């Protein structure tokens, strides 16, 4: 039996859809949601629903009963995620889960000096807990999603240009759907126990190149402006973005500029069985509809 946490989220729901598409028996797929109401759509697909909450340890132990493989999708509560995920690992151990597949993140610097330490420490601590648990594991060191781009670009990018403090830094993002399909392939495959995989796109890109691609799509020049970090955070918070997320977006920009998101190795094509979606393909699909 496979269980997917975060089953209502983009990654978890995509992974479940790929499991179904690949012909995996629906009776052997379970989805963890926080309430019966939130599980209705999945239940209609024939998926088993398990009620569980990262903040409720006993509910996790109950949800993980009889589960062989657990896709532990990292939580979205930045302030409480570390304890929530440690709860999940401990509960998996108590429930007898045999294999944890965890969606972690790409990085080089694991210290507090990392510009994305606020995000990274919970991943690092969760990885340590998983490896110390004695449960077979697969760690997916996922790079930034291509889906991160429209969040950074904003809804008026064709009028305002690309405004992001990443300088000339490069990174190798991949589409979230490609990453979710890789997770599904691992869940249904063999030989992935006790491995760390590096999941990134197969091309390194800069935000200047993102602006150039948008220029091609729009048929006019889209400028790239790389402000200083203070100016950028001020612009976001002034537009109503919560400070914690403004800081996170700025942190990713610094990480990109420092080369944190340029992995030394890449397992994506091998695990996906094909080339992943490119930045050009993603942006063309996203913006050509507008």
> Whole-prediction pTM value?
0.95
Q: Any long-range contacts for 228-234 (C-beta under 8 Å, 24+ apart)?
A: 228/165, 229/165, 229/253, 229/254, 231/165, 232/163, 232/164, 232/165
**pLDDT above 90 (res 237):** yes
**pLDDT above 70 (res 289):** no
Q: Alpha-carbon distance 36 to 171, whole Å? A: 40
Q: How many residues does the chain have?
A: 290
Query: What secondary structure letter does DSSP report for 134?
Result: T
Which whole number is the average pLDDT over 18-46?
Answer: 93
Coil, strand or helix at 9: coil
The dihedrals phi and psi of 54, each to the nearest 5 degrees, come to -55, -25
Domains of the chain by start residue, with CATH: 2-143+175-200+264-273 (3.40.50.720)
Mean pLDDT of the chain: 95
């Amino acid at each position: 039996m496979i269980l997917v946490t975060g089953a209502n989220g983009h990654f978890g729901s995509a992974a479940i859809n790929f499991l179904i598409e690949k012909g995996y028996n629906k009776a052997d797929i379970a989805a963890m949601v926080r309430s019966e109401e939130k599980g209705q759509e999945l239940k209609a697909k024939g998926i088993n629903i398990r009620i569980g909450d990262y903040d409720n340890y006993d509910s996790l132990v109950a949800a993980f009963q009889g589960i062989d493989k657990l896709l532990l999708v990292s939580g979205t509560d930045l302030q409480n995620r570390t304890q929530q995920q440690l709860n999940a690992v401990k509960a998996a151990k108590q429930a007898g889960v045999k294999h944890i597949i965890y969606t972690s993140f790409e990085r080089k610097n694991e210290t507090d000096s990392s510009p994305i330490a606020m995000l990274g420490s919970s991943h690092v601590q969760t990885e340590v807990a998983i490896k110390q648990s004695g449960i077979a594991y697969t760690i997916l060191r996922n790079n930034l999603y291509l889906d991160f781009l429209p969040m950074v670009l904003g809804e008026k990018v064709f009028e305002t240009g690309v405004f992001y403090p990443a300088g000339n830094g490069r990174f190798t993002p991949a589409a979230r759907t490609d990453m979710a399909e890789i997770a599904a392939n691992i869940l249904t495959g063999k030989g992935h126990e006790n491995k760390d995989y590096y999941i990134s796109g197969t091309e390194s890109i800069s935000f200047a190149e993102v602006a150039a691609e948008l220029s091609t799509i729009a048929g006019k020049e889209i400028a790239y402006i790389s402000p200083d970090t203070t100016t950028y955070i001020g612009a976001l918070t002034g537009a109503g973005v919560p400070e914690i997320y403004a800081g996170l977006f700025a942190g990713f920009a610094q990480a990109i500029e420092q080369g944190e998101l340029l992995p030394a190795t890449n397992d994506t094509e091998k695990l996906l069985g094909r080339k992943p979606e490119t930045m050009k393909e993603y942006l063309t699909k996203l913006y050509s509809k507008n």
